[in-house]
A and B are shown apart, each in its own frame.
Chain A
């Protein structure tokens, strides 16, 4: 039995979406972890700088998360808009 035509399109869409979001969050996950590690270490070293470090950490984490969001947008477009 073959998967052809309409069913193939649907399979490709869903599989593509799953792979996009699955692989796309690997990098940002590690990146955010590294960011937080650096922030924790610097706060531990110098608790008085905590507000400064925290503000910059939040900004950097949001920028890093944006990369994961790009992958999510690709997955969402595949699921809800799909291929022509």
Chain B
């Protein structure tokens, strides 16, 4: 009977997968809703008209919103795991010999508590292994926070509606943006992007309901190059700005995270070695060794440059991986809408997790290098 049940479950899941791939094509082909290919741009798109919090130039961008949601998700998941752990601990302290409903000892974690503890313990063991048992618990919080936040921010991309649903607004042809003509779905008053080539719903002289301030002749393209037919004169072009966009596709976010990580590395160095940590970058004590000391001084200045480059490297690694992944997903969805995006979604899941792990691991490694002191301690190993 178990085999029959498993076979049934497998067939149901397979049927759902096939229906998800083919269903939209069959059901929606009449309405002509294709896969959208929104405008790709490097800087994040602002969701508000005016700067928020009174700071000039600080807009609520879609990546900021996505990062806040990722933070909230991590907080909630951690609180759930923590409260489950505390409940179990209270039961255990009341009666150490008790067993729970499944007959296991109370010290055995279950459910979400178990999963979260596995994630945290993975980074905790890594921290102890890289930094050493004495300083591991001190370096561990920043590493695990970076890991969890980046992991959640990357994996948030796979929830439906993220990075696809958004505000439709007028494209700006002067910036070389090729928009699409808005098409009304039936008589609902809901508009979608029209990708059909022969879509000429705004002949010259008429204005659009979606972009009332742009006249039909007002959008002749200058940015697409003379003689090219990228934007024609009769269309009022619109693009979609997603409400949520993967947080790590924003260079601001990755740069901020890298700065926080490298500053905390310096802090750990000072915590362990005291102010003499800064002799790592300006090796004055080496001058006492004579002429060779001058070369060591120069080398230590190079070390300072290398440390600042690590900020660039950390931020660009995460940004490049995730932004390229997002663009890849968009392009593949446009080329082969049925089936192929699944493979690339799996790739992006792997890349997202790997980049989160690499960021945390590099923070740990840099902390361990900083706490080891400058070159005089040969044979220091972790």
Residues of A within 8 A of B (CB): 6-7, 10, 58-59, 62-63, 65-66, 69-70, 72-73, 76-77, 80-82
Docked-complex contact B40 and A62, CB < 8 angstroms: no
A residues less than 8 Å from B316 (CB atoms): 66, 69-70, 73
Q: In whole Å, how far is A6's beta carbon from the nearest beta carbon of chain B?
A: 5
23 contacts between A and B (CB under 8 A): A6-B225, A7-B226, A58-B357, A62-B317, A62-B355, A62-B358, A65-B317, A65-B321, A66-B313, A66-B316, A66-B317, A66-B320, A69-B316, A69-B321, A69-B324, A70-B320, A72-B320, A73-B323, A76-B42, A76-B324, A76-B327, A77-B42, A82-B176
Are A76 and B354 CB-contacts (below 8 A) given A6-B225, A66-B316, A69-B317? Answer: no
The reply to whether the CB of B361 lies closer than 8 angstroms to some CB of chain A is: yes
B-side contacts of A77, CB under 8 Å? 42
Q: Among A62, A73, A81, which residue has its beta carbon within 8 angstroms of that of B319?
A: A73
Q: Is B41 an interface residue (CB 8 A)?
A: yes
Which residues of chain B in 270-320 are interfacial with respect to chain A, using CB atoms and an 8 Å cutoff?
313, 316-317, 319-320
Closest approach, in angstroms, between the C-beta of B254 and any C-beta of chain A? 11
Question: Across chains A and B, which 4 residue pairs bring their CB atoms closest together, nearest first?
Answer: A69-B320, A66-B317, A62-B358, A73-B320
Partner of A76, one of B317, B323, B357, B358: B323
Contacts known (A63-B358, A76-B323); A81 close to B317, Cβ less than 8 A: no
Which residues of the other chain, A, contact B42 by a CB distance below 8 angstroms?
76-77, 80-81
B-side contacts of A6, CB under 8 Å = 225-226
B315-372 at interface with A (beta carbon < 8 Å): 316-317, 319-321, 323-324, 327, 354-355, 357-358, 361-362
Flag if B354 contacts A62 (CB, 8 Å).
yes
**Interchain CA distance A73-B104 in the complex, whole Å:** 52
User: Given A69-B320, A69-B324, 18 other A-B contacts at CB below 8 A?
Assistant: A6-B226, A7-B225, A58-B357, A62-B355, A62-B358, A65-B321, A66-B313, A66-B316, A69-B316, A69-B317, A70-B316, A72-B324, A73-B319, A76-B42, A76-B324, A76-B327, A80-B40, A81-B42
Which chain B residue has the least Cβ–Cβ distance from A10?
B225
Task: Please give the distance in Å from B14's CB to the nearest CB on chain A.
Answer: 32
A67 to B159, CA, bound (A): 30
Residues of B within 8 A of A82 (CB): 176
In the complex, A6→B316 CA distance in Å?
A: 30
* CA gap between A72 and B316 in the complex, in Å: 10
Considering the chains assembled together, what is the distance between the CA atoms of A10 and B225 in angstroms? 8
Question: How long is the Cα–Cα vector from A72 to B225 in the complex, in angstroms?
Answer: 25
Residue of A nearest to B251 (CB): A73
CA distance A3 to B41 in the complex (A): 27
**Distance of B29 from chain A, by nearest CB (Å):** 32
Nearest opposing residue in chain A for B312, CB measure: A70
Complex contacts, B226 vs chain A, CB 8 Å: 6-7
Q: Point out the residue from A7, A59, A72 that lies within 8 Å of B358, measured CB to CB.
A: A59
CA distance A34 to B176 in the complex (A): 43
Q: Which of A58, A62, A80 sits near B41, CB closer than 8 Å? A: A80
Residues in B whose Cβ lies below 8 Å from that of A59: 358, 361
The smallest C-beta distance from B122 to any residue of chain A, in angstroms, reads 11
In the complex, chain B residues whose CB is within 8 Å of the CB of A63: 358, 362
A residues less than 8 Å from B319 (CB atoms): 73
A73 to B322, CA, bound (A): 11
**In the complex, what residue of chain A is closest to B40 when comparing beta carbons?**
A80
Task: Point out the residues of chain A lying under 8 angstroms from B41, CB to CB.
Answer: 80
**Bound: A7/B354 CA distance, A:** 40
A81 to B323, alpha carbons, bound, how many Å?
14
Closest-by-CB residue of B relative to A59 is B361
A14 and B225 CA atoms in complex are apart in Å by: 14
On chain B, the residues within 8 Å of A72 by CB distance are 320, 324
What residues of A have a CB within 8 angstroms of the CB of B358 in the complex?
59, 62-63
